[in-house]
Chains A and B, each alone.
Chain A
Amino acid sequence: MTHSDTFADFVTTRSPRLLRTAYLLTRDWALAEDLLQTSLVKAWSAWRRIDTDPEPYVRRILVNTYATWWRRRWRGEQPAAELPEPAGSEPHLAVDARDEVWRALGRLPRRQRAVLVLRYFEDLSEAQIAEVMGVSVGTVKSQAAKALARLRLDESLTIEGVLR
C-alpha cells in the first residue's frame, strides 16, 4: 500500500473513534469534526515518516491542537463563563448526578479535561498520557489529581464520592 492508501484507510476506519475523543474535549460535534480534520491535515504532512501505528501520533496532534487552540482564531468557539443548561432541565426536577458531572467536566481547564479523557475514555496509562501530551508522568498525575479534586469540590456536585 502507498502512503496515500494507508492514510485513506486510516481516515476511513480509525477516525470515528478519534471523533469521539475530539467531542469529549470540545463538547460540540461540529467543533470536534473541525478539530479532527485539522489534526488529520497536520498528520498527513508527516505521514511518510510514520512507520508504526499512526493512531497515537494522530491522537497526540489532536490533543495538543485542542490544548493550544485558544491561542488561535477559532470561529466556532465562544468562551463562556457558564455552560448552557442542558436541554429539558428544570429547576424543580431532581438533579441528575451524571449530568452534573458531565457539566462539571466542561468547566475543567483544557489540559485537565484532556487528561481525564485520555485516562478514562482512551484507557491510556499515565505514561502513555505523558507521551501524548508531551509532559512528564508527574505532571499527568498532578493534573489528574487536580481535575478529580475540582470535580469533587464543584459546588454543583452535591454527592460525595461520585467518582471512582
Chain B
Amino acid sequence: MIDLKELLDDRSATPAGLVQHQRLQQVRGRITTRRRRRITAGGAFAAVLALVLTGYALTPAQRAAPDPATTPSAPTLAGFPEYAQGSRVVAAARSRPGEQVNVAWTPTTLDIALFTDCATGQADAVLAHEIKVNGHLLTSGTCGVSGLHWPHGDRMWAEKGVEIGKPAVFTMTALRVRRTVTTTDGESRTEDGPVPAGAVLGLAVGTRLPFTEYPLPARPDRLPALGDLRNGGEAADMPGEASQWMLSHPNLPLLSMSRNITWRGQYDLRLQAQTPGLLHVLIDGVEVYTGEWWTYEANEAGTWWSTDDSAAWAAIPGFTMPEDGDIVTVTVVPEHFTGTWQLRIVPLGGGATL
C-alpha cells in the first residue's frame, strides 16, 4: 500500500541547500517593481489623456460640431500648444501616415524639451518610438510621454553634435504598436505588433523658460486639495519602508526643509504642490532633481534614484558620490509657491531592513 499523504510529505521535503532566506527581500523587490509599473502606466495614461484632451481643445475645426468660439484658442505649432510644462515650442512637425517625422532647428540654448504626440488609428494602442538627433539615438519609449528634458544634458548634447548656432535635425521613427491587454485573471501585460500604415507621429522641440517668463494660468478661486501621495497606488508603507515626509510650513511655503537619510539602496520621491512653483531637491547641498508645477491642478511629480548608479550621479555637476551607509542630508528648497507643497521620500531595496 502506498500512503499518499506519506508520499507527498516525503517528496516535498526541502532539498538540502535550497536558499530560502532571500525570499523576503525578493518579494519586496517584486512589490516595488509592480508598483513602479503601475506608476509608469498611470503616468503614461495621464500623459496620453492630457494630450488627447489638449488636442481636442486645440483643434475645434476638426470636430464635427465645433463649440462657439467664445474663447480664442491658444497658439499652436503643428498642433502642439506654444507653451507647455515650462517650455515654449519653437519647432514642430507631423508626419504623413506611415512615415517618420523630421524637425530641423538651430539651437539657441541647450536647455531643450521635446514633446511627442502620436495617433495609431487603433483603439487602446500606443506607438513605441525612437528619437534621434543628427543620427544619434537620443531616447526611445512610448509616444505620449510629453515634456522630456535633460537638466544636466550639456555633455550629452555635445556628444550628439548639438551645439548652439549649429543646425540640428531631430528624427522620430515608429518602431511598433503596443497595447495593454488584461487577462482573465486580472493581470495585465503588453503586446507588441507592427506599426499600422495609418500611424501619424508628431514631434515638437521646445526651449525651457525661466519661471518668471512663463505664462502661468489664472489662479483659481479655490486651490485643489493635496492627496496622500500614493506610491504605486499604496498610501501606506510597504514592508521595510519608512517614508519620510516634508510638508510646507502653513504660512511660509518658501521655507526650506531638510531630512537625513542613509545612502543605501533605492529611493522613490513623490512630490505634489497646489500652485505653480519649483521644488529643488538637494543632496548634501547639490541639486539632484527639480520638481516643477506650471498649473493649479495639484499634479504629482516623482523621481527615483539608485545609490549605486555611479554613471547617473557622475553626470550631476558638483556631486560627490557618498559611500554606502553614509548619512546624507536631503534638502528641499521651494521657489515661487503661493500654496502648500509636500514630499514623500520612500526607501526601497537594500536601503531598508525589516
A binding-site residues for B, Cβ under 8 Å: 3-5, 7-8, 11-12, 15-16, 19-21, 23-24, 29, 33, 36-38, 40-41, 44, 48, 65, 68, 71-73, 97-98, 101-102, 116-117, 120-121, 123, 159, 161-164
Contacts and interface: CB of A to CB of B under 8 A. Distances in A.
Chain B interface bracket (under 10, 10 to 19, 20 to 34, 35 or more): 35 or more
A20 B14 contact: yes
Contact of B238 (A11, A24, A44, A117): A44
16 contacts: A4-B240, A5-B354, A11-B24, A15-B20, A20-B12, A21-B12, A37-B23, A37-B27, A71-B183, A72-B185, A73-B189, A98-B2, A120-B5, A121-B9, A159-B2, A164-B2
Given A12-B24, A41-B34, A48-B236, 5 more contacts: A117-B8, A120-B8, A161-B1, A162-B2, A164-B4
Interface in B1-57: 1-5, 7-15, 18, 20, 23-24, 26-27, 30-31, 34
A38 B23 CA distance: 11
B26 A7 contact: no
Contact of A40 (B7, B27, B184, B189): B27
A19 to B, nearest CB: 7
B27 A101 contact: no
A11 B25 CA distance: 10
Task: Identify the 8 closest CB pairs spanning chains A and B, nearest first.
Answer: A20-B12, A121-B8, A8-B354, A4-B239, A120-B5, A120-B4, A162-B2, A11-B24
Most A CB within 10 A of own CB, among B3, B12, B15, B23? B12
Contacts of B354: 4-5, 8
A21 B240 CA distance: 27
B237 interface: yes
A3 B204 CA distance: 47
B185 A101 contact: no
A68 B184 contact: yes
Most A CB within 10 A of own CB, among B11, B18, B237, B240? B11
A160 to B, nearest CB: 10
B213 interface: no
The secondary structure that dominates the B interface is loop
Nearest to A22: B12
B5 A121 contact: yes
B187 interface: yes
B239 A8 contact: yes
A98 B1 CA distance: 9
A7 B239 contact: yes
A41 B354 CA distance: 16
A88 to B, nearest CB: 15
Contacts of A102: 7, 11
B241 interface: yes
Contacts of A16: 14, 20
B236 A11 contact: no
Contact of B187 (A15, A72, A116, A162): A72
Contacts of A5: 354
Interface in B216-246: 236-241
B4 A116 contact: yes
Contacts of A3: 236
A140 to B, nearest CB: 16
Contacts of B2: 97-98, 101, 159, 162-164
A12 B184 CA distance: 31
